[in-house]
């Protein structure tokens, strides 16, 4: 019997995969900039006994943004960690159905977290929470992270639908 999952090419994941690649590229640019910032900071400490002001704030924010920018493409390509020890011997239809179910559960959990992050961003805005060294407001970054989590949730629903249509 032919494998019903053979046509699921993760590289052409979703109709909006070019947009997701753009998000991941933005994450890569931020990651590169953070790396350059850390190298500059270490170099300045070694050579001139000084440092880049706010490097810790910038790296914390940048690292978080990278994660949220990378996750939607990772999900679209089904690159998240999966444990298939118990399901690998099941028929393809059942495996696809279970994978789709877990994608939907993931979408729900991520949407819940996104709503909580929106609430957190609103509270941070109201209380003027800022970073320690640079005194930059934190709420815009949490708002962006929440929006990216909603994107991740939508991508998870799309991957579940793709798996369900592949069953046929």
- Write out the chain in H/E/C secondary structure: CCCCCCCCCHHHCCCCHHHHHHHHHHHHHHHHHHHHHHHHHHHHHHHHCCCCCCHHHHHHHHHHHHHHHHHHHHHHCCCCCCCCCCCCCCCHHHHHHHHHHHHHHHHHHHHHHHHHHHHHHHHHHHHCCECCCCCCECHHHHHHHHHHHHHHHHHHHHHHHHHHHHCC
Distance CA(150)–CA(114), nearest Å, equals 6
Is residue 7's pLDDT more than 80? no
Looking at residues 100-117, what average pLDDT do you find? 97
Helix 139-166 with 17-48: angle, nearest 10 deg? 140
Output the pLDDT for position 2.
45
Averaged pLDDT score across all residues of the chain? 90
Output the pLDDT for position 168.
64
Looking at residues 142-154, what average pLDDT do you find? 97
Residue 85's pLDDT band (cuts 50, 70, 90):
low
Output the pLDDT for position 3.
46
Looking at residues 73-85, what average pLDDT do you find? 83
Using alpha carbons, select from 87, 78, 85, 84 the residue that is nearest to residue 106. Answer: 78
Looking at residues 5-15, what average pLDDT do you find? 51
Looking at residues 78-104, what average pLDDT do you find? 85
Q: What is the pTM of this model?
A: 0.87
**Higher per-residue pLDDT: 167 or 35:** 35
Looking at residues 95-117, what average pLDDT do you find? 95
Residue 4's pLDDT band (cuts 50, 70, 90):
very low
Structure tokens at 115: 């709503």
Is residue 13's pLDDT more than 90? no
Share of the chain above pLDDT 70, in %: 89
Distance CA(26)–CA(23), nearest Å, equals 5
């Amino acid at each position: 019997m032919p494998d019903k999952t053979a046509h699921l090419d993760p590289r052409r994941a979703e109709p909006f995969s070019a947009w997701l690649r753009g998000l991941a590229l933005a994450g890569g640019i931020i990651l590169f900039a953070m790396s350059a910032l850390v190298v500059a900071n270490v170099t300045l400490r070694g050579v001139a006994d000084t440092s880049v002001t706010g490097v810790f704030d910038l790296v914390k924010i940048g690292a978080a943004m990278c994660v949220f920018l990378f996750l939607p493409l990772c999900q679209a390509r089904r690159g998240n960690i999966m444990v298939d020890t118990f399901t690998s011997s099941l028929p393809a239809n059942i495996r696809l159905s279970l994978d789709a179910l877990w994608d939907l559960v993931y979408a729900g959990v991520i949407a819940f977290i996104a709503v909580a992050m929106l609430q957190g961003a609103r509270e941070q805005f109201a209380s003027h929470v800022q970073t320690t060294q640079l005194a930059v407001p934190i709420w815009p970054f949490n708002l962006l992270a929440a929006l990216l989590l909603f994107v991740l949730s939508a991508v998870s629903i799309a991957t579940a639908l793709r798996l369900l249509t592949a069953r046929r």
